Amino acid sequence: MENARAKIGALIEVVAVFLLAVLLFHGLRISPLGQLEGEIIPQRGLYFVEYGAVLVILLLLLKFTGRDWERYGLTLKRGKLQLRVIAVGLAPMLALGGVLGMVDWKTWAGAAIASLVAVGALILIGGFLKEDNPGTPMLLALLALGPGLVESGAVGGALLRTLYFYLFVGPAEELLFRGYIQSRLNEVYPKSRRLFGVAWGWGPVMAAALFGLWHVAWRPLEGGAWFQALWTFFAGLIFGYVRERSQSVVPSSLLHSVMNYVPLFDLLGG
């Protein structure tokens, strides 16, 4: 009975935090401040204020509730492991980003293709990271960066989008879903199974589900949002695995940003 109460309490907490983030994001987006942001920033669909607010609120929440920041993924410890996870994940996530740039992921067919590629990326990343061997596909990862950088277009626009994805979107979403939500659920849901050598439970799966719903919740009337929720669920499983493997949200934040970089450069760069 006590265990059931702990699980229900954790679920209520994470749903409340999720809804708070949705309301904050959507409220700022439709507010005069959000409209002013849209007028000032030349690129459409860049929500600096909204993601920045979510990031700040989460940091304040962790601070004032006395949570252990390292336990919630805010740590640079085990630096070699984190670098290895990033190196292994770069090429698969850039490949996924490339696919997202080529298909219409707001349709059923495009979302299905993106989902299959995300599953493949998870298998590749997990397979390379399952054993603690020193070899990593760093060269492949560095080579894979080339196409994304070439497609960046004008320097000013590329810099703006890079700052947006790497300092706002990736960190905010990863701190919310893999930092706060996944960590909180891991406290009450045992990690009784293993996925590619990593202890695994319902926490990462439920965090991935909420991550998918996030892409619907703050823009429910936008066409194709539910299709995006499908493939982002599978992408969320990748980030959940990376967070568990590295014990940090830093690698998942970077790889999340890498995934976003390629398709959105195409979409926003025209």
For residue range 151-167, list pLDDT tens digits in order: 444 556 677 888 899 99
CB 174 within 8 A of CB 239: yes
The end-to-end CA distance of the chain, in Å, is 56
From the list 236, 185, 242, 184, the residue with the least C-alpha distance to 213 is 236
Q: What is the pLDDT of residue 13?
A: 97
Q: Is the pLDDT of residue 244 over 70?
A: yes
CB 256 within 8 A of CB 174: yes
Tokens representing 33 are 């401040």
For 251-263, write each residue's pLDDT tens digit. 999 999 999 875 4
From the list 185, 182, 188, 192, the residue with the least C-alpha distance to 247 is 182
Q: Is the pLDDT of residue 3 over 90?
A: no
Q: How confident is the model at residue 264 (pLDDT cuts 50, 70, 90)?
A: very low
For 105-146, write each residue's pLDDT tens digit. 999 999 999 999 999 999 999 999 987 655 555 444 444 444
For residue 79, how many C-alpha atoms fall within 13 Å in the half-sphere facing its CB?
1
pTM score of the predicted model: 0.90
Report long-range pairs for 212-220 (Cβ below 8 Å, ≥24 apart): 212/236, 213/18, 214/18, 214/21, 214/22, 214/173, 214/176, 214/177, 217/18, 217/22, 217/26, 218/22, 218/25, 218/26, 218/29, 219/26
